[in-house]
Copies of this chain bind each other. A is one copy, B any other.
């Protein structure tokens, strides 16, 4: 059996009992190291699971899937991924490959930001499509995310914005010289994400986003529990002027609040507001929320 096992959001204890049993019974266990990041080191996972983990980076998962799948028709092989296995298209590719090789597969689900974003207090059924925001460079500012946010906003839906991660990137020089030397990982911060959103709004002028009157909720290390997880709510302007330390270590995500927001959602998130008065006043004045 080939298992793809979701590790959930934070650390070694977020695996399910079913997932842990599959790990313990596997001949080889791969740990996928690129689609996202864990809040914990490989060694800590190995100690807790009692298993050696083989690090599977982007190259390996995309180009050596047959090596990962080797023998899985006769023995158990596991691939561990952060969040839920269906968070990345690469895993669909792996499952298609396993199917072609007639290897039985089982997916062991877990939480991912796609459902844990409910921790913001916003209701999952009020979310539209999810968008990704990549690091802008001087010459490359892909802005199709803006159209997606607009589509959601026009319907009053919330938008989950996933912030870019750069892991195992090579500098142009190292790439050109074929040197496998990698840059330190980079994670987009909340203020940077907001500044990119505002930059595109200023270009497009469609009125989808407004620094003073668009509400948003920043989520950091969701599922990390008290003292680790952090949720910050405010206008885009408020979030943009916070120091990056306000949000702490990665990973960060951002939700743009849609106009169909329910007063109960506002009330729940008010606990996380930079300024409760501004939060509630914008909800009333701009979003049309009515409170008792």
Contacts and interface: CB of A to CB of B under 8 A. Distances in A.
Interface of A: 6, 8-9, 12-18, 20-21, 84-87, 89, 92-93, 95-96, 99, 104-112, 114-116, 118-119, 121, 123-132, 151, 155, 157, 222-223, 225-226, 264, 267-268, 271
Nearest to A225: B106
A86 B116 contact: yes
B129 A128 contact: yes
Contacts of A111: 6, 84, 109-112, 115
A4 to B, nearest CB: 11
A129 B125 contact: yes
B8 A89 contact: no
Q: Which 8 A-B pairs have the closest CB atoms?
A: A86-B118, A109-B111, A13-B18, A125-B130, A115-B115, A13-B17, A114-B115, A109-B116
Contact of A96 (B18, B21, B267): B267
B118 A125 contact: no
Given A14-B18, A106-B226, A264-B92, A124 B118 contact: no
Nearest to A223: B109
Contact of A157 (B6, B93, B114, B128): B128
Contacts of A155: 128-129, 151
Number of copies: 2
A153 B110 CA distance: 28
Nearest to A108: B223
Nearest to A110: B111
A84 B84 CA distance: 13
A198 to B, nearest CB: 23
A147 B86 CA distance: 28
Contacts of A20: 17
Contact of A109 (B9, B87, B96, B106): B9
B21 A16 contact: no
Contacts of A99: 271
A232 B116 CA distance: 27
A4 B147 CA distance: 37
Nearest to A152: B128
Nearest to A114: B115
A109 B17 contact: no
A225 B106 CA distance: 6
A115 B129 contact: no
Nearest to A157: B129
A72 to B, nearest CB: 14
A166 to B, nearest CB: 19
Listed residue (A20, A87, A111, A128) with the most chain B CB atoms within 10 angstroms of its CB: A111
Given A84-B111, A92-B121, 11 more contacts: A15-B17, A84-B115, A96-B267, A96-B268, A104-B226, A114-B114, A124-B130, A125-B130, A126-B129, A128-B128, A128-B155
